[in-house]
Amino acid sequence: MPSPDLGAWLAPPTGPWLGPVPEADIDSAPFWAGLRRHELVILRCPDCATFVHPPQASCPRCLSLNLTPERVSGRGTVYSFTVANREFAPGIRPPYVVALVDLEEQESLRVVTNLVNVAIGDVRIGMPVRAVFCDLDLGDDAATLAYFEPDDA
C-alpha cells in the first residue's frame, strides 16, 4: 500500500454531501440535535455525575436510567489516530484522519471523529484539539457533523 502524503491538508467537506448520513435513535437524538445547534452534547448521569458516550440508555457506573443531555466544551486531546488511505464508505474520499479524542470534562470520555484543518504529518497523540461543526449540504434535509481541529489556544 502506498504511504500517505504527510503534507496532505485535511479540510472539512464542502459542496453536496455524498457520504452516509447518521440516523439518530432514542439514545443518540440529543447528541445529533446538539450538533445541529453547533454544540457538543453528551449524556450525563445526574445521580453519579458520569458522562456517558457513546450514548446508551443507562449509566455504566451506577445503572441509573436518569441520563440527561449536557453541553460540553468541545475541547480535548488526541488519544489515538489512524490515517485512512482507502474509501471505506461511499462518498468519503481518502486520505483522512480518524481519531479518538479525549474530552476534557472527564477521564476516558472519548469521541470518534475526523481531524480537519491540519496536515496529516502534523497530527500527534496528545495534540490539543477543539470541535468544529460542518453543516451538510443535503438538499431538503439538515444534518451536522462534528470534526476536530488543532487548538492552539
Tell me, yes or no, whether 64 and 99 share the same domain.
no
Tell me, yes or no, whether 80 and 149 share the same domain.
yes
Is the pLDDT confidence value at 32 over 80? yes
Please identify which residue in the block is written with the cell numbers 462534528: 146
Is the pLDDT confidence value at 6 over 80? no
Tell me, yes or no, whether 142 and 98 share the same domain.
yes
Number of domains observed in the structure of the chain = 2
Tell me, yes or no, whether 84 and 144 share the same domain.
yes
Q: Is residue 139 part of a domain?
A: yes
Query: Could you list the residue range(s) of the whole structural domain that residue 29 is in?
Result: 25-72
Q: What's phi and psi for 92, nearest 5 deg?
A: -110, 100
The reported pLDDT for the residue numbered 131 is 98
- In the chain, the percentage of residues whose pLDDT exceeds 90 is 75
Is the pLDDT confidence value at 1 over 80? no
The reported pLDDT for the residue numbered 52 is 98
Tell me, yes or no, whether 102 and 150 share the same domain.
yes
Is the pLDDT confidence value at 51 over 70? yes
CA dihedral 91→77→112→94, nearest 10 degrees, is: 20
Tell me, yes or no, whether 84 and 125 share the same domain.
yes
Tell me, yes or no, whether 83 and 116 share the same domain.
yes
| Residues 146, 74: Cα–Cα separation, whole Å | 9
Mean pLDDT of the chain: 93
Tell me, yes or no, whether 136 and 152 share the same domain.
yes
Tell me, yes or no, whether 51 and 98 share the same domain.
no
Binning pLDDT at 50, 70 and 90, where does residue 4 land?
A: low
Q: Which residue has the higher pLDDT, 45 or 138?
A: 45
Tell me, yes or no, whether 62 and 79 share the same domain.
no
Residues 89-113: tens digit of each pLDDT: 888 889 999 999 999 999 999 999 9
Binning pLDDT at 50, 70 and 90, where does residue 2 land?
A: low
Q: Is residue 18 part of a domain?
A: no
Q: Is residue 19 part of a domain?
A: no
Binning pLDDT at 50, 70 and 90, where does residue 119 land?
A: very high
Domain boundary among 38, 72, 106: 72
Tell me, yes or no, whether 62 and 98 share the same domain.
no
Tell me, yes or no, whether 42 and 116 share the same domain.
no
| Length, in residues, of the chain | 153
